Amino acid sequence: MKKIKDSSADYPKLGKLISWVDKPGSNQKIFYILILLCTASFGLEWTYEKHAYFEIESYKGFYAFY
């Protein structure tokens, strides 16, 4: 059986762009990015008036929690 060389130089452009996801420790980076986006979502909810269809959607932080 031949060993396949896994070099990111052979990847297409999109593969090179997201190759950091496969490296060790990237799960923590993804988790912290998710926390940052949820915090930003929660903070931005205070800047506009919602027109919710369901009552639960009108609660502050609903979309950040969901």
Residues of the chain with pLDDT under 50: none
Q: What is the pTM of this model?
A: 0.64
Residue 8 CA: distances (Å) to CA of 2, 21, 27, 37, 59: 19, 12, 19, 28, 45
Predicted local confidence at residue 32, as pLDDT: 95
> How far from 25 is each of 10, 30, 36, 39, 61, CA to CA, in Å?
23, 9, 17, 22, 29
Helical residues (DSSP H) of the chain, grouped into ranges? 13-17, 26-44, 62-65
